[in-house]
Structure 1
Amino acid sequence: MNHFFESIINLFFPPKCPFCGKVLDAVGVCSKCEKDLPWLPEEQVVMTDKDLTCAAPLWYEGAVREALLRLKFRGGSALAEPFGELLARCAAERFGGEFDTVTWVPVSQKRLETRGYDQSRLLAEAVCRHWDTRPMQLLVKVQDNPAQSGLQGEAARRANVLGVYDPADPELIRDRRILLIDDIHTTGATLSECVRVLRDNGAASILCLTAARTPKREKKGKNS
């Protein structure tokens, strides 16, 4: 964004901490909230389970959960920017040099029309702004399946997303090293299905990145 227009926007709509609402000089998280956030332990930031490798900086609980719910369901699209800064930092630290293309887990057309935006696309765009690049749409959601949040159990979640994603253009996927961005990592069913579609269409490698990970299974000593 042009720095002049950015300064004008910040004058009338100053950036705020996504967790406590404190007005800031620049997009990000205030020092107090950053200290108090539920950061994943260093050894759990990257999780590998079967064919899924996914990094997340935060646990999905407390203020993080509330902020992501606002982003996803309550019109809080501006929250993508501060989360994008956290995601860009995490990706640089954990996956630096391991991808050449950024994409996102898309919502269905019906959900896009209802919500007015795709929160994972906004996160991907916010991340890419830190690297002076843009994400590419590599997947489309071809079915408006029930929300994963309303389903119990990994088997039900995996069945719910089977076949709901198609490649936007297989030629754009072939031989790419992809960073796939989503908002929340729960069981990994959605991410795994997207990874499968990308791999079946010739992706060289796929790494996943989410803003937060649901803590339940990890804290019981199981993989998510």
Structure 2
Amino acid sequence: MRALFSQLLDLLYPPKCVFCRRLLRPEEHDVCARCVHELEPIPAPLRRGQFYTECYAVYPYEGVVAESLRRFKFSGQSQYAAAYGRMLAPLLRTAPFEILSWVPVSAKRRRSRGYDQTELLAHAVAKELELPCTQTLQKIRHNPAQSSQRDAAARRANVLGAYRAVSPERFAGRSVLLIDDILTTGATLSECSRVLLTAGASSVVCAALAATPEPGQKPADR
């Protein structure tokens, strides 16, 4: 019955590539063959910002990847979380962490969007890794979007004091993996990591679906 229902859904809503939105062929899953061929994964964990050891990311935040994430965050495409989770989870199977968590959005943004996209992504990753997903942070100040800040210093100031630890006894003395959607300067992940370390976490590693290219790095051709 479940298989039949899935087939009916595919007829009514044919699956599309989460990046370029082309219709997927029967042998393709989540991402079309063209995007698989043209997108260049980030080869190694990144180190931007402070207080966390490294950040795992799948793709550069540019082109169709950036367009896809904007649809995920701002256009109601919450179903992308499952596909993103399947992309991100393989990078984390050997990562050094004990608690899987996420960088939360403010209550105001959650009400506006109808969901917290990073929480959805974290739960999707947790499902793939067959691990629990634990809330460790709450956003207590609705600050302007980081994308509106002019430089790295402004981004750091913008998130200072915006988060607090939730139930520190859950992670005290343990290593935490923080999931976010996009890594830019690392300001948000740095502030979240600082809060967790201050509350008792032993260490913090981070993961995001995408990371902005380093300054001077040439965008991938499309």
Q: TM-score, normalised by structure 1?
A: 0.87
Per-residue deviation, 1:218:
6.5
Cα offsets for 1:183-216 (capped at 9, x unmatched): 0000100000000011011111110001111114
Per-residue deviation, 1:99:
1.1
Do the aligned residues in 1 keep the contact of 2:19 with 2:35 (CA within 8 Å)?
yes
Higher relative contact order (CA 8 A, sep 6+): 2
CA RMSD of aligned residues (A): 2.0
- Secondary structure at the aligned position of 1:219 is classed as coil
Structure 1 unaligned spans of 5+? none
Matches within 5 A, 1:47-196: 47-49=46-48, 50-52=50-52, 53-92=54-93, 96=94, 98-196=96-194
In the superposition, relative to structure 1, how do residues 112 and 5 fare at CA in structure 2: closer, same or farther (>3 Å)? farther
In the superposition, relative to structure 1, how do residues 110 and 212 fare at CA in structure 2: closer, same or farther (>3 Å)? same
Matches within 5 A, 1:13-24: 13=13, 15-21=15-21, 22-23=23-24
Letter in 1 for 2:30: G
Per-residue deviation, 1:24:
5.5
Identity %: 44
In the superposition, relative to structure 1, how do residues 175 and 151 fare at CA in structure 2: closer, same or farther (>3 Å)? same
- Runs of 4+ in structure 1 deviating by more than 6 angstroms, as ranges, are none
Structure 2 unaligned spans of 5+? none
Q: TM-score, normalised by structure 2?
A: 0.87
In terms of fraction of residues, the more helix-rich structure is 1
Do the aligned residues in 2 keep the contact of 1:28 with 1:81 (CA within 8 Å)?
no
Cα offsets for 1:25-68 (capped at 9, x unmatched): 5753222211111322x2xx212244331111110000000000
Letter in 1 for 2:16: K
Cα offsets for 1:156-184 (capped at 9, x unmatched): 00000000100111111202211110000
2:5 to 3, 8, 26: 8
Do the aligned residues in 1 keep the contact of 2:51 with 2:204 (CA within 8 Å)?
no
Cα offsets for 1:130-177 (capped at 9, x unmatched): 122331111000011100011111110000000010011111120221
Partner of 1:38: 40
- Secondary structure at the aligned position of 2:144 is classed as coil
In the superposition, relative to structure 1, how do residues 6 and 167 fare at CA in structure 2: closer, same or farther (>3 Å)? farther
Do the aligned residues in 2 keep the contact of 1:14 with 1:24 (CA within 8 Å)?
no
Do the aligned residues in 2 keep the contact of 1:143 with 1:165 (CA within 8 Å)?
yes
Letter in 2 for 1:73: F
Do the aligned residues in 1 keep the contact of 2:103 with 2:137 (CA within 8 Å)?
yes
- Secondary structure at the aligned position of 1:156 is classed as helix
In the superposition, relative to structure 1, how do residues 97 and 20 fare at CA in structure 2: closer, same or farther (>3 Å)? closer
Letter in 1 for 2:19: F
Do the aligned residues in 1 keep the contact of 2:103 with 2:179 (CA within 8 Å)?
yes
